[in-house]
Amino acid sequence: MRVVLGIESSCDETAAALVTDRRVILAQRIASQDDAHRPYGGVVPEIAARAHAERLTPLIAATLADAGMTLAQVDAIAATAGPGLIGGVMVGLVTAKALAMAGAKPLIAINHLEGHALSPRLADETLGFPYLLLLASGGHCQVLLVEGVGRFRRLATTIDDALGEAFDKTAKILGLGYPGGPAVERLAAQGDARAVPLPRPLLGSAEPHFSFAGLKSAVLRARQAGVHADADIAAAFQQAAVDCVIDRTRRALAAAGPVQALVVAGGVAANRAIRAALEALAGEHGLRFVAPPLALCTDNAAMIAWAGVERLGQDDPLDFAARPRWPLDPAADPVRGAGVKA
């Protein structure tokens, strides 16, 4: 049995995990920075980097202690090396390099998006390649054909905002605070989606790309009109988001060719309405639907450690540079807006 230590620090979660090549999470810890960023309504990069620098090393020590292990018993050190907020990424990557050097262990630099993309295989050993993945988080909204480890074909991306970002901005408009996704979902459950007409950007367009900026602006106008209940606005926003996601993913499925499963990952995969609609779409196509458990959807280090397991044998140089941008499919056509915020 081999064990990989995973480190995640690309946004506002400081996380460490120990995962085996038998898909067992021996230990994992996540320190959320929500409280530090809440007053600002979003993640402040400088505050995030400082918090990672303070918390990461003790968090790794505690994770090792939880598993009753020492660094000597770890087979490799995997860390997010991008994309993300560069200060935080540097903290995690430099820490991983120091541990790799001190322990004479291989360093495995992980693309955070690959961590999300492969996380469903940690949860489900029967999930084989290729699969169609909707990767929707605070910084990304892409549909990827996952053909293997390090082999991605990006079929769609957002031309403006990420889906999680649209949830977060809707939450801000409705005064729900940060992080917004779960709060919008809770409020939406009490509202009537038909009470507020909202647009579905790019619905029916030939290419499977996403757009959420116009939806966000419409939410703002609906709120400012002062005639709708907040719960109805939240419900209408969520329904519009679901309709867009399903229409766009259906289009991507048609372009993808044969796949093993329809898979969703990233923080927005925690949304029950989106999950349910994707499951129905998969059913329509006679496909399996795979969604990792909620704790594996939002940022965590178990997915980074697992990507490290998938890449065991790799040993990256100690001068591997942190990458603020790191597309999974470098050959993908650039689209307006590029769809990558961090």
Binding site for Zn ion (CB under 5 A): 137, 299
**CB of residue 257 vs ligand KG4: minimum separation in angstroms?**
27
Binding of ligand KG4 at residue 80 (CB under 6 A)? Answer: no
Binding of ligand KG4 at residue 120 (CB under 6 A)? Answer: no
Residue (56 or 268) nearer to ligand KG4, CB: 268
* Alpha helices (runs of H) in 104-150, residue ranges in sequence order: 112-123
Q: Look at the block and give the residue holding tokens 């367009």.
A: 205
All residues at 6 or more sequence positions from 36 whose CB lies less than 8 Å from its CB, including other chains? 12, 44, 47, 48, 51
All residues at 6 or more sequence positions from 328 whose CB lies less than 8 Å from its CB, including other chains? 111, 113, 114, 117, 142, 144, 152, 154
**CB of residue 212 vs ligand KG4: minimum separation in angstroms?**
11
The site partner of 106 among Zn ion, ligand KG4, none (C-beta below 5 to 8 Å per kind) is none
* Cα-based distances in Å from 53 to 44, 106, 175, 179, 240: 14, 22, 31, 22, 39
**CB of residue 224 vs ligand KG4: minimum separation in angstroms?**
22
Is the separation of the CB atoms in 40 and 124 below 8 Å?
A: no
The site partner of 120 among ligand KG4, Zn ion, none (C-beta below 5 to 8 Å per kind) is none
For the window 295-314, what string marks contact with ligand KG4 as x by the rule CB under 6 A?
A: ---xx---------------
Residue (6 or 106) nearer to Zn ion, CB: 6
Residue (67 or 146) nearer to ligand KG4, CB: 146
All residues at 6 or more sequence positions from 206 whose CB lies less than 8 Å from its CB, including other chains? 251
For the window 176-205, what string marks contact with ligand KG4 as x by the rule CB under 6 A?
A: ---xxxx--x--------------------
The site partner of 115 among Zn ion, ligand KG4, none (C-beta below 5 to 8 Å per kind) is none
Residue (55 or 105) nearer to ligand KG4, CB: 55
**CB of residue 7 vs Zn ion: minimum separation in angstroms?**
14
* Cα-based distances in Å from 236 to 196, 197, 220, 239, 319: 6, 7, 12, 5, 48
Burial class (CB in 10 A: 0-12, 13-18, 19+), 320: middle
From candidates 8, 114, 161, 168, binder to ligand KG4 by CB under 6 A = 168
- Polymer length of the chain: 342
Contact residues for ligand KG4, defined by CB under 6 A? 11, 137-139, 164-165, 167-168, 179-182, 185, 266-268, 270-271, 298-299
